[in-house]
Each structure stands twice: as structure tokens, then as C-alpha cells.
Amino acid sequence: MNIEERQALIDRCKTIAAWREKYGDYANVMMPALEAKKIAEIALSSLQADGSLTDEDTTPQSPAQQWIRCSERLPVEGQSVVIANIGHGCICEAAAVTYYPPHFALIEGLEASNYDGGASISLAFEATHWMPLLAAPEPGGDES
């Protein structure tokens, strides 16, 4: 990383740190995946350098799921999945849906409408990728 890239990263980190003050604790703010990756690599490197990061911390807890391009393959009919519109290196929109060819529909119970029910909210984006939902937790497992 050259000096200009380093300074740009420092400036961006300062901006990100200020987001909480500007947008609140629970705001959803997006950043390009490449930028997030660089910041994560620096954070991990820092934790490894001071000895506070173990192999267990960096081992995935379950097999990583991969986004599947809709142009390559679609879910089976009736399958509930997460869909996303992935563009410019970030997830622009996402929703939990069920696939009913040739469309995706919001999972039952996730539908929404305005205060008097006169207008409903529907999917207004084109899905570019999808992935299966995670399996439900085992009964009797840790409830925390």
C-alpha cells in the first residue's frame, strides 16, 4: 500500500467512525465490498500482531454459503431463499422470498402495507443473485 492509498484509507476510516454520530446506532450504511475487505484485513492484521486473534476466531462456524447468479440457476419452485441485487461490488437490495416461477414473492408474514392497508409494498428490484436460507436451529439447543 503506497502513502496515498494509506492516507485515503485512514480518511475513510475516520468517515466511517463518524457515521454513528451522523446516522445513529442502528443505521444501515453500505460501502463497496473491496473497501470493506481492505478495512477488515487491516483490523485482522492488527489483532494478529497483538496476539489477541486465534485460529478459532478466523475459522468459519459453518460452511460458507455462496451467492448463486440467477442467470446460472434459479431455485426450485416453492423454495424460500434470500435474493439480492448485487452491483458495483455491494448488495444494493435484498429480501427473503419464495420462488414461484417466473417470480419471487415475499415470504408469507413479511408482506407490508401502508397504515390503512390501501397500498402494499412489493419487490421493486431485479434479483441478480440468490442463496438458500440457513437451516433452523436444532430443538433444545442453546437458546441465547
Residue pLDDT, tens place only, 18-39: 777 777 766 666 667 777 777 7
Is a pLDDT exceeding 60 seen at residue 59? Answer: no
Q: Are 79 and 44 contained in the same domain?
A: no
Question: End of a domain among 58, 81, 103?
Answer: 58
Is a pLDDT exceeding 50 seen at residue 61? Answer: no
Q: Determine the structural domain holding residue 91 and report its residue range.
A: 68-132
Question: End of a domain among 11, 26, 58?
Answer: 58
Asked if 130 contacts 83 with a C-beta cutoff of 8 angstroms, the reply is yes
Global confidence as pTM: 0.45
- For residue 63, being part of any structural domain is answered with no
Question: Total domain count for the chain?
Answer: 2
Q: Are 72 and 117 contained in the same domain?
A: yes
The pLDDT of 77-84, averaged and rounded, is: 86
Question: End of a domain among 17, 38, 58?
Answer: 58
CA distance 111 to 113: 7
CA distance 5 to 11: 10
**Cis status of the peptide bond prior to 139, with omega within 30 of 0:** no
